[in-house]
Amino acid sequence: ACHRVPTGPIETTLCDYETVEAHNDDLYTHLKDLVKTPFFKYFRVDLYRDCPFWQENGYCMNRECGITTMDESEIPERWRAAELSKVEMPSEDQRHNLPGCYYRDSDFCFLDDMSEGDYIDLSANPERFTGYAGPSAHRVWASIYEENCFGLSEYNLLSSNSPNPAPVSLPDSMSDLLRGDGGESKTCLEKRVYYKIISGLHASISTHVCHEDMNQTTGEWGPNLQCFINRVAAYPERLQYIYFNVVLMLRAVSRIGPYLQAYDYCGTGAHEDDAYTLDKLNQVIGIAQDVGKFDETVLFRGENANILKEEFKAHFRNVSRIMDCVGCDKCRLWGKIQTSGIGTALKILFELDEKALDPRLNANLLSRSEVVALINTLHRFSESLAAVNVFREMWAEADEQE
Ligand code: FAD
């Protein structure tokens, strides 16, 4: 199972693995160029908020956990905090405030307010092996999976609409939590989708860690096949969920396509730069229209659909806050970007109707950070699939040599 390309339909989507495979090279090529453009590579994020759920002491002292920040003067003027906060901050009555962050009712994650944080060039801080591991990392993953424990019966026990989420209680053992898809037949579709998204994200991070691994003895960087087998390939469903996430993100990009095409990417003032960014984006949107066959209308239907959706949202928002508990700066950075990117995709799929998506009617629908997070997250997932191909080749070579 380890080296085979999955075939057939991707469960709960209208797409198959072959279609994703056929387009991923192109998709990855365009995304790789896109995330190097000024609009998509500069990101402002507050990485130093306290963990709201437990006392976090597990700070990673490894050099690779660190990130390089930028001085504000290096950022095109119109993307600096002072400018952004003028246009990006929703009004006081539209947002629920917490120190340093907020959410609007339609959001699936907490967003940083723009008054705090560092500027980061994402292209200079790639997600890769950092050495962050052990109880701190496991506790974060366990808490994220625990947010999957929702269902209508639990609704009244949870403070879903509260801006202060209930503390995450930790499980006795990871195996209790990570019991796979949780009895497919008994579990509601929304819960399965939640699990796939998280497990797919986890598998994608593991793929990056294994693809850009550092040999602890020689200090050399390179792909580590055994690492990938142990963490991802030995569990074929984990790999399948990366494909699932690609389709989900592409569906969101396809839905928001006209809005993205009308967005202003001008930061440097050079017309050619903006035309280049838009051209690359158009290529990605074109692929998204062909491959993003996720049918969001099958979720959150029927009786109590709205309650279930609010609960799903509240749990996903908690995941975005759990990111403040990640004890490694670079991992926290990418954890925040990716939960924000997925949260933006979920908002596009489940909160916005066609009218809301119309760029003429709703010009401030997404903040710049949400657009940047959406595209960078899709890039990460697409990059993981490209890395999987490298591992398949390594596997085939190793097979031949035996
Ligand atoms: P872990 O990956 O920690 O997994 C813990 C347990 O979860 C496993 O034992 C298994 O039972 C289960 N599990 C594993 N994968 C899946 C899956 N896909 N689906 C379901 N269950 C699963 N490390 C880096 O080197 N670089 C990074 O950029 C980085 N970013 C991170 C971002 C976040 C948000 C977090 C929480 C951690 C990050 N880490 C990063 C740490 C990394 O994810 C691992 O935790 C670490 O490498 C230790 O790995 P492990 O083999 O002990 O298992």
Average pLDDT over residues 48-52: 90
Contact between 47 and 122 (Cβ < 8 Å)? no
Mean pLDDT confidence for 21-32: 97
Write down the pLDDT at residue 88: 65
CA of 175 to the centre of ligand 1 (A): 14
| Mean pLDDT, range 13-39, rounded to an integer | 95
Helix/strand/coil for 16? strand
Give me the pLDDT at residue 42, please: 93
Whether 379 has a pLDDT exceeding 90, the answer reads yes
Q: What is the pLDDT of residues 122-179, one digit of tens each?
A: 999 999 999 999 999 999 999 999 887 665 433 333 333 333 333 333 333 333 333 3
pLDDT at 152 (0 to 100): 43
Phi and psi at 16, nearest 5°, equal -120, 165
111 lines ligand 1 (CB under 6 A): no
Distance (angstroms) between ligand 1 centre and the Cα of 132 equals 9
**Residue 322 Cβ contacting ligand 1 at under 6 Å:** no
pLDDT digits (tens, 9 = 90+) for 275-324: 999 999 999 999 999 999 999 999 998 888 888 899 999 999 999 999 99
Whether the per-residue pLDDT at 211 is higher than 50: the answer is: yes
Q: Which residues touch 115 (CB under 8 Å, ≥6 apart)?
A: 81, 85
In the residue annotation, 328 being an active-site residue is answered as: yes
Give the number of the atom of ligand 1 that is nearest the alpha carbon of residue 322: 34
Q: Is the CB of 155 under 6 A from ligand 1?
A: no
Note the pLDDT tens digit of each residue in 240-264: 999 999 999 999 999 999 999 998 8
Residue nearest to atom 47 of ligand 1 (CA): 133
Pairing outcome for strands 42-45 and 111-112: unpaired
61, 139, 179, 202: residue to mutate for ligand 1 pocket, most atoms within 8 A of CB? 202
Distance in Å, CA 367 to ligand 1 centroid: 30
pTM: 0.90
387 and 211 Cβ atoms separated by less than 8 Å: yes
Sequence-ordered list of residues with C-beta below 8 angstroms from that of 335, at least 6 positions apart, any chain: 323, 326
Rounded to 5°, angle at Cα 24 from 20 and 28 = 150
Write down the pLDDT at residue 51. Answer: 92
| Residue 9 DSSP class | B
Least confident of 19-33, 195-209, 297-311: 297-311
- In angstroms, rounded to a whole number, what is the distance separating the alpha carbons of residues 280 and 32? 10
d(CA 326, CA 71): 24
Lowest mean pLDDT among 95-104, 282-291, 329-338: 95-104
Q: Are 103 and 163 in contact (CB under 8 A)?
A: yes
Pair 203, 239: CB distance under 8 Å: yes
Active site residue 65: no
Q: How many residues does the chain have?
A: 402
Which residue's CA is the nearest one to ligand 1's atom 29? Answer: 331
Say yes or no to pLDDT of 86 above 90. Answer: no
Q: Of all residues in the chain, what percent are helix, strand and coil, respectively (each to 5)?
A: 55, 5, 35
Cα of 384 from ligand 1 centre, angstroms: 15
DSSP assignment of 275-339 equals HHHHHHHHHHHHHHHHH----GGGSS-STTHHHHHHHHHHHHHHHHHHGGG-SSHHHHHHHHHHH
Q: Which of these is catalytic: 60, 210, 325, 328? A: 328
Instruction: Say yes or no to pLDDT of 402 above 50.
Output: yes
Q: What is the mean pLDDT of the chain?
A: 85
Whether 239 is in the pocket of ligand 1, judged by its Cβ within 6 Å, is no
Task: Provide CB contacts within 8 A for 27, sequence distance 6+.
Answer: 250, 284, 287, 291, 382
Per-residue model confidence (pLDDT) at position 77: 84
Q: Is 127 in the pocket of ligand 1 (CB under 6 A)?
A: yes
**pLDDT computed for residue 84 by the predictor:** 64
Candidate from 142-151, 248-257, 338-347, 364-373 with smallest mean pLDDT: 142-151
What is the token pair recorded at 325? Answer: 């508990």
Mean pLDDT of 38-53: 91
CA distance 338 to 375: 10
Write down the pLDDT at residue 83: 67
Residue with tokens 């209930």: 166
Measure CA 216 to chain center. Answer: 28
